[in-house]
């Protein structure tokens, strides 16, 4: 038995830790996961021969599945982990790896590929050969989360270097890479994208959430280094992204992962989005779906419960205990099994929540999050519980146990040398699909860090407001209105809306709200508008700085009373 061997020298743990099994697992797995991750990075990683300097292979597996490529998403998430560890002082040996990554991404960005050149969409290309040439086979492209995730990692690095007064390197080396990515995000976020699982071509919550973060962080960095020409357009698009983010909320109490795809929409996509946009300074803010927000907790519960009946290794496990989870319950890829990185993500969201509740000295139970909190205290009621109350103690201890339970599941199905593949079998927990998945190792390290109370740098999620309000039903006297307009556009043109109320930018074309073309030629947006109000509006067509208004007269609707079902307005461009 693996853990017994190591228990003897595992005394250290943090104040909240309750599970000695998890303590033991983390002590042994942490260095193995770090080593496994570094083995997959060129030029000298022991399992990544052929990968150039700073290139992250997804996995050494070169057949069934062939993952011996470098994905922009996986690489960025791996380097976000490395950069966090270095900048937070957890591992001071990683600086050379970070420099190599920066060098590699500067090259990768410039490679013309089937998605385009750097100026015509090439930044949306999902993966490259490990010798930094284009992959030209058929693939689900573009995937628009890559540039956002890469800039998030590089901005974390830039902010650290600024704190060390190294602004020359930031301005001369990092900023050009970041600016390429963020201009791409600002210009293309409302175009359809393959989701992070490379399957569904529509709009995707994960992609939208990390894009929103990237532009907010980009604006802060731009201001910090005096690159202010981008600030206004990036701010406008960040606001539009925040607005669009709300539209994924589903009144059944969870976030629908994709606008397309025809599935339940219950998906690790949303849990990953929450942990990769965690900002402790934003508390339990619901607008950005922070890990401890009522919407994100309700979503987590819905997601986890979706796997109870689909994997036989989950059978017989109590309803309030952890289970193995995967990408989404309908998944059939490589057998459709649980994924380590998905199960770790659940633990991480819960550990992030504990960080915030402990820091703020209270937790809040709403009608939306009540079913989640009832897992730990069946008699808990809606309300706010200070850390001095027994309810707070009971619930935080219960959440800690529940979170640790997800790590225990992974521990149970980790072989003795600590290898983490992509999937583990739904019937017996043995390893399946790609071996030594770099992202699996990164997901272990970030979950372990969160359990230890380590808080990543803030990215600016606090004190945001949205003209869209929240769509979780807790807002004021508003009603969600979806505007669909049938509009044929040429390349470069986008459709916006503005109108007579604050939520429609008071007729200001410069800050008009961008519609999504995921269902082109139908352009769509959902906006929370004042209830029972006569509202005038128009669509506008923009191409760069050129603006075309619809012909007169203004369009007009009377919004329904508050508390009504959502309302849809179908128009044709005029």
Least separation in angstroms between CB 257 and ligand NOJ: 13
- 196 vs 215, beta carbon nearer ligand NOJ: 196
Q: With binding defined as CB under 6 A, does residue 413 bind ligand NOJ?
A: no
Stretch that binds ligand NOJ, among 71-79, 343-351, 468-476, 505-513 (CB under 6 A): 71-79
- Taking CB under 6 A as the criterion, the residue among 6, 169, 333, 520 binding ligand NOJ is 333
Q: Does 197 bind ligand NOJ (CB under 6 A)?
A: yes
330 binds ligand NOJ (CB under 6 A): no
Q: Is 198 a catalytic residue?
A: yes
Residue whose CB is less far from ligand NOJ, 71 or 376: 71
Residue closer to ligand NOJ by CB (options 91, 198) is 198
Asked about 377 being catalytic, the answer comes back as: no
Per rule CB under 6 A, is residue 71 in the interface with ligand NOJ? yes
Question: At what angle are helices 340-360 and 294-305 packed, to 10 degrees?
Answer: 150
Residue by residue, what is the 3-state secondary structure of 8-41?
A: CCCCCCCCCCCCHHHHHHHHHHHHHHHHHHHHCE
For residues 113 and 515, give the distance between their C-alpha atoms in angstroms, rounded to a whole number: 28
Given 22, 29, 56, 74, the residue binding ligand NOJ (CB under 6 A): 74
Residues 6+ apart with CB under 8 A from 288: 209, 212, 242, 245, 277, 279, 282, 461, 464
How many CA atoms lie less than 13 Å away from 25 in the CB half-sphere?
24
Residue 439 within binding range of ligand NOJ, rule CB under 6 A: yes
Residues binding ligand NOJ: number (CB under 6 A) = 11
Taking 3-state DSSP, the helix, strand and coil percentages for the chain, each rounded to the nearest 5, stand at 40, 15, 45
Report the 10 Å Cβ neighbour count for 534. Answer: 11
For residue 3, state whether it binds ligand NOJ (rule: CB under 6 A).
Answer: no
* 557, β-bridge pairs: 535
- Which residues, in sequence order, are CB contacts of 117 under 8 Å at separation 6+? none
Q: How far is the CB of 28 from ligand NOJ (least distance, A)?
A: 24
Q: Is residue 199 involved in binding ligand NOJ (CB under 6 A)? A: yes
* Sole window of 128-136, 154-162, 190-198, 486-494 interacting with ligand NOJ (rule: CB under 6 A): 190-198
Rg of the chain (C-alpha set): 23
Out of 198, 305, 330, 493, point to the residue binding ligand NOJ (CB under 6 A).
198
199 or 519: whose CB is closer to ligand NOJ? Answer: 199
Q: Does 73 bind ligand NOJ (CB under 6 A)?
A: yes
- CB nearer ligand NOJ, residue 160 or residue 197: 197
Residue nearer to ligand NOJ on the CB measure, 74 or 279:
74
Strands 478-486 and 567-572: parallel
Q: How far is the CB of 442 from ligand NOJ (least distance, A)?
A: 11
Q: Which of 91, 99, 198, 493 is catalytic?
A: 198
CA dist list (Å): 253 to 248, 250, 316? 11, 6, 25
Alpha helices in 292-422 (DSSP H): 294-305, 340-360, 370-374, 390-412
Q: Which is nearer to ligand NOJ, 328 or 357 (CB)?
A: 328
276 binds ligand NOJ (CB under 6 A): no
- Name which position in 16, 67, 160, 523 contacts ligand NOJ (CB under 6 A): 67
Which positions ≥6 away from 247 have C-beta within 8 Å?
A: 471, 525, 526
Does 205 bind ligand NOJ (CB under 6 A)? Our answer is: no
Which of 24, 58, 468, 497 is in the footprint of ligand NOJ by CB under 6 A?
Answer: 58
CA 320 to chain centre: 25
Instruction: Please pick, among 29, 84, 132, 195, the residue that the annotation labels catalytic.
Output: 195
Helix (H, G, I), strand (E, B) or coil at 458: coil
Asked if 267 interacts with ligand NOJ (CB under 6 A), we say: no
Contact 537, 211 (CB under 8 A): no
CA 123 to chain centre: 18
Closest CA to 480 of 539, 532, 526, 512: 526
Q: How far apart are CA 443 and CA 77, in angstroms?
A: 9
Residue 209 CB, nearest approach to ligand NOJ (Å): 15
In total, the chain counts a number of residues equal to 574
549 annotated to a ligand binding site: no
Tell me: does residue 328 bind ligand NOJ (CB under 6 A): no
Distances (CA, A) of 255 to 58, 195, 203, 403, 471: 28, 15, 13, 20, 11
Closest distance to ligand NOJ from the beta carbon of 472 (Å): 28
What is the spatial distance between Cα 328 and Cα 462, in angstroms, rounded to a whole number?
A: 30
C-beta of 146: minimal distance to ligand NOJ in Å?
A: 9
Is the Cβ of residue 55 or residue 158 nearer to ligand NOJ in the bound state?
55
**Which residues does the annotation place in the binding site for substrate?**
139
Binding residues: 139
Positions that interact with ligand NOJ (CB under 6 A): 58, 67, 71, 73-74, 196-199, 333, 439
- Residues noted as catalytic: 195, 198
């Amino acid at each position: 038995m693996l853990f017994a061997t190591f228990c003897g020298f595992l005394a250290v743990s943090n104040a909240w830790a309750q599970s000695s099994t998890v303590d033991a697992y983390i002590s042994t797995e942490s260095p193995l996961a770090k080593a496994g991750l570094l083995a997959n990075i060129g030029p000298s990683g022991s399992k990544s021969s052929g990968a150039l300097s700073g290139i992250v292979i997804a996995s050494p597996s070169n057949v069934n599945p062939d993952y011996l490529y470098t994905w922009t998403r996986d690489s960025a998430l791996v380097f976000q982990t490395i950069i966090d560890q270095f900048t937070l002082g957890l591992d001071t040996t990683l600086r050379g790896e970070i420099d190599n990554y920066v060098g590699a991404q500067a090259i990768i960005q410039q490679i013309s590929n089937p998605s385009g050149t750097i100026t015509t969409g090439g930044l949306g290309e999902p993966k490259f050969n490990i010798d930094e040439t284009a992959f030209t086979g058929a693939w689900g492209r573009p995937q628009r989360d890559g540039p956002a995730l890469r800039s998030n990692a590089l901005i974390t690095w830039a902010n650290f270097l600024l704190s060390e007064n190294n602004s020359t390197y930031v301005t001369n080396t990092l900023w050009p890479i970041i600016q390429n990515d963020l201009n791409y995000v600002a210009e293309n976020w409302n175009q359809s994208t393959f989701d992070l699982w490379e399957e569904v071509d529509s709009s995707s919550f994960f992609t939208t959430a990390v894009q929103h973060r990237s532009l907010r962080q980009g604006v802060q960095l731009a201001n910090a280094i005096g690159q202010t020409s981008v600030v206004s357009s990036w701010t406008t698009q960040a606001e539009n992204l925040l607005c669009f983010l709300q539209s994924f909320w589903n009144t059944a109490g969870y976030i629908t992962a994709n606008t397309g795809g025809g599935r339940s929409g219950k998906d690790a996509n949303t849990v990953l989005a929450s942990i990769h946009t965690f900002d402790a300074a934003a508390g339990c803010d619901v607008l950005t779906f922070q890990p401890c927000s009522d919407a994100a907790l309700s979503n987590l519960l819905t997601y986890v419960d979706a796997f109870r009946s689909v994997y036989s290794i989950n059978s017989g496990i109590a309803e309030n205990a952890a289970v193995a989870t995967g990408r989404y319950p309908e998944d059939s890829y490589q057998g459709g099994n649980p994924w380590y990185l998905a199960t770790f993500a659940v633990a991480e969201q819960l550990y992030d929540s504990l960080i915030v509740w402990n820091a703020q000295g209270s937790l809040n139970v709403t009608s939306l999050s009540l079913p989640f909190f009832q897992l730990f205290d069946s008699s808990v009621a809606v309300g706010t519980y200070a850390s001095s109350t027994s309810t707070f103690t009971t619930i935080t201890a219960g959440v800690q146990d529940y979170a640790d339970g997800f790590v225990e599941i992974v521990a149970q199905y980790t072989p003795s040398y600590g290898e983490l593949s992509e999937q583990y079998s739904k019937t017996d927990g043995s390893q399946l699909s790609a071996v030594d998945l770099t992202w699996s190792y990164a997901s272990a390290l970030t979950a372990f860090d969160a359990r230890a109370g380590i808080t990543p740098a803030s990215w600016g999620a606090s004190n945001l407001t949205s003209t869209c309000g929240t769509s979780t039903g807790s807002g004021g006297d508003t009603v969600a209105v979806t505007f669909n307009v049938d509009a044929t556009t040429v390349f470069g043109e986008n459709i916006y809306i503005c109108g007579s109320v604050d939520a429609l930018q008071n007729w200001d074309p410069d800050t008009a709200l961008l519609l999504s073309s995921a269902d082109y030629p139908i352009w769509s947006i959902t906006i929370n508008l004042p209830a029972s109000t006569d509202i005038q509006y128009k669509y506008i067509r923009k191409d760069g700085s050129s603006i075309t208004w619809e012909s007169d007269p203004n369009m007009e609707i009377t919004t329904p009373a508050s508390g009504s079902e959502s309302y849809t307005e179908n128009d044709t461009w005029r």
